[in-house]
Amino acid sequence: MTNADQLLTRITQQPGVCGGRPCIRGMRIRVMDILQMLAEGVSEDEILADFPDLEREDIRASLVFASRRASHGEVAA
């Protein structure tokens, strides 16, 4: 298992948690929220300070998750 694959084990999806959207380790912290904060220029240190249950590896896992989703091709109808 690669390091990226290990990081992805931190991403969970459960029907009753955040509407089934990808979250961090079963918490109600969505991957998309972390990605949006990063896109807005919020630093990793600021995110970790605001969400004390998060770990730096959770942020990296979110980036791996997004990169893998972006690499999937879509078929135009």
The string of pLDDT tens digits covering residues 40-53 is 999 999 999 999 99
Looking at the domain assignment, is residue 55 inside a domain? Answer: yes
In a domain, 56, yes or no: yes
% the chain with pLDDT above 90: 75
Within 10 Å of residue 52's Cβ, how many Cβ atoms? 7
pLDDT band at 70 (very low <50, low <70, confident <90, very high): confident
Tokens encoding 57:
């590896």
Residue 74 lies in a domain: no
Contact predicate 32/23, CB 8 Å = no
Per-residue pLDDT, averaged over 55-76, amounts to 87
Mean pLDDT of all residues belonging to the chain: 92
Residue numbers of the domain that contains 24: 3-68
In a domain, 30, yes or no: yes
Give the per-residue pLDDT at 77.
61
CATH number of 16's domain: 1.10.10.10
Question: Is the pTM here over 0.85, yes or no?
Answer: yes
Other Cβ atoms closer than 10 A to 19: 10
How does DSSP classify residue 12? E
